[in-house]
């Protein structure tokens, strides 16, 4: 079962998260300050990492850049499903 259901609150928030990352370069620290949550039902960051939609770039700890992966860009454009294909 995919961790992100497209037509759900978490799916909409995931798209908002990807769009937010696409606006301009974001650091890990900035991303965690804006998107970290203690609610297990809204694990937007964790789900995006697990599904291969984002990755960490170069840098040190909180200064590392958070990047959309190719798959993340395709999901944002509506050209790929949220969940990665099962292996």
Number of compact structural domains in the chain: 1
Reported confidence tier of residue 86, pLDDT bands at 50, 70, 90: very low
In a domain, 53, yes or no: yes
In a domain, 84, yes or no: no
Distance CA 8, CA 5 (A): 6
Question: Quick one: pLDDT at residue 42?
Answer: 67
For the record, the structure tokens of 45 come out as 């960051």
Note down the domain range covering 49: 9-76
For the record, the structure tokens of 52 come out as 């291969």
Question: Quick one: pLDDT at residue 87?
Answer: 41
In a domain, 41, yes or no: yes
pLDDT at 4 over 90: no
In a domain, 70, yes or no: yes
Question: Quick one: pLDDT at residue 9?
Answer: 77
For the record, the structure tokens of 86 come out as 């099962």
> 3-state class of 74 per DSSP?
helix
In a domain, 83, yes or no: no
Sheet holding 65-68, edge to edge: 26-27, 65-68, 54-56
- pTM beyond cutoff 0.75: yes
Q: What is the pLDDT of residues 19-68, one digit of tens each?
A: 999 999 999 999 999 887 776 666 888 889 999 999 999 889 899 999 99
pLDDT at 2 over 70: no
Backbone angles phi, psi at 65, to 5 degrees: -80, 140
Cα dihedral: 16, 69, 52, 6 (round 10): 30
């Amino acid at each position: 079962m995919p961790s992100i259901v497209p037509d759900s609150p978490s799916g909409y928030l995931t798209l908002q998260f990807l769009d937010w990352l696409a606006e301009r370069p974001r650091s890990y620290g900035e991303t965690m300050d804006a998107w970290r949550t203690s609610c297990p039902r809204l694990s937007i960051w964790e789900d995006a990492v697990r599904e291969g939609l984002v990755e960490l770039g170069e840098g040190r700890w909180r200064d590392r850049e958070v990047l959309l992966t190719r798959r993340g860009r395709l999901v944002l454009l509506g050209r790929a499903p949220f969940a990665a294909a099962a292996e």
